[in-house]
Amino acid sequence: MNKKLWLGVAASCAMSLTAGAWAADAATADEVAAKVKEAAAAVKASADVTLTEFDKKDGKWAWKDTYVFALDCTNGVMKAHPAATVKGMKLTDLKDKATEKEFGSALCEAAKKTNGGWVEYMWTKPGAEGHHRKVAYVLGAGNYQVAAGVYDDKLTAKELDAKIAK
């Protein structure tokens, strides 16, 4: 009996460590906001070089379960994105994967705010199947708009916007 108890405790500890590792692989809203601000500064300093870096799936701007991407709201296109199928898309063709509602214009509107803004939509998640709820932070960066998102079922754009307004 004692042996079974120890095996149960060991299995429980192993599972909790594994769950912690999974959680560590998920970007947080604070990390996303900080990375977008860093990316926006880099785009302002050297747009051509930085935008090319956003296209790399394993570069500096892709981390954990998310990545930075750039929009050109003036011309209505996705300027930089690690997925080749998304780069160059018309922003009006960006559609929520569950509702088919266009959200490209919402990203552009949020970027116009002084401190940027958050937009919610369903999207594909790197390394996972299906569609996942994503809340993206977008900020103006010179002639472009820079964004990244957190995959989360609970956070809302409204509560995150209130947080950055403080």
pLDDT at 23: 43
Cβ atoms of 43 and 50 within 8 Å: the answer is yes
Q: What pTM value is reported for the model?
A: 0.83
Amino acid letter, 152: D
Phi then psi dihedrals of residue 91, to 5 deg: -65, -30
pLDDT of residue 18 exceeding 90, the answer is no
Boundaries of every domain in the chain: 28-165
Q: 28-165 domain in CATH 3.30.450.20?
A: yes
Element (DSSP H or E) covering residue 81? none
**Sign of the CA dihedral 43, 45, 48, 53?**
negative
CA–CA separation, 112 vs 140, rounded Å? 7
* Mean pLDDT of the chain, nearest integer: 87
Could you report the per-residue pLDDT of 109-160, keeping only the tens digit for each? Answer: 999 999 999 999 999 988 899 999 999 999 999 999 999 999 999 999 999 9
Mean pLDDT of the region 34-43? 98
